[in-house]
Amino acid sequence: MADMDCDPPFGSTSWASSTSSAPDASIDQAKGLEYWNSISSDVNGMLGGFPQTSRIDLVGSAAFLAKLRRGKAGKPKDKLPKLARVADCGAGIGRITKELLLPVASVVDVVEPVKKFTDALVESLRSEERAEEDQGQVGEVVNLGLQDWTPEKGAYNVIWNQWCLGHLNDAQLVAYLRRCKDGLVAPAPSSETDGLPVQGSWIVVKENLSRGGSNQDIYDDEDSSVTRSDDKFRRLFKEAGLKIVDTKLQSGFPKDLFPVRMYALRPE
């Protein structure tokens, strides 16, 4: 089990750097799964004791995704069409599924290895009244780690990965991103879009970044995960055959937490 099951704790910059030359080699996936199974199925548990950052996170993500979808010719007031199908990977209890993706997509598939978290998501959707008529629906609920999940070929407009890739070692992450690349809807030729907002197809990665002069990956023994540097992410994206079409630092988080960066990726 290599996937992070849900949003990880934000991790303070006081974490000690691994002495190993390859911090990702220290990842123990069984230990990571054991850790997340011990965490409460609520926002406080998902966000490692920082539930107050959830709204800031969601607003930043929504703005990033909307900008991607509008493209260069779009205007902020343009009404965007529904995305047909998206995936929330490492979905946890569905914080991102419910608050970010269901409002903009017709179908959201959920990939999450910890069943108690997806059970909580399904139960919450049953009990909550989703007032908006144009809310999407949860499609498939897949209880697998990302190292074991293969997206349906050409199925997804967006594959969203947030605070989950630290439980994949470098080789697994590259292999996973290559599969995600095959899972994207083929973009429409520019001649067919005429500058209007389109469905689009992107892999989105939103993750903590290590920082400091060493620019090294950092291993966290508590949940057996790695916090990578921006440079490492960029090298792994390139190895997977992906290019960065947009990227932005998340603003508004407490300064003693790791910086968080969003990347939008497409096949090279």
According to the annotation, is 29 in a ligand binding site?
Answer: no
Q: Are 118 and 110 in contact (CB under 8 A)?
A: yes
Residue 95 annotated as binding site: yes
Closest CA to 113 of 67, 69, 147, 62: 147
User: Has 146 been labeled as part of a binding site?
Assistant: yes
Does the annotation flag 71 for ligand binding? no
Q: What angle do CA 99, 201, 124 make, to 5 degrees?
A: 20
Distances (CA, A) of 92 to 75, 83, 100, 117, 247: 33, 22, 14, 5, 24
Between CA 169 and CA 174 the distance in angstroms is 9
Beta bridge partners, 203, equal: 159, 265
125 annotated among ligand-binding-site residues: no
Tell me how crowded residue 15 is: count the other CB atoms within 10 A of its CB.
15
CB 30 within 8 A of CB 38: no
Binding-site residues for S-adenosyl-L-methionine, in ranges, read 90, 95, 146-147, 162
Binding-site residues, in ranges, read 90, 95, 146-147, 162
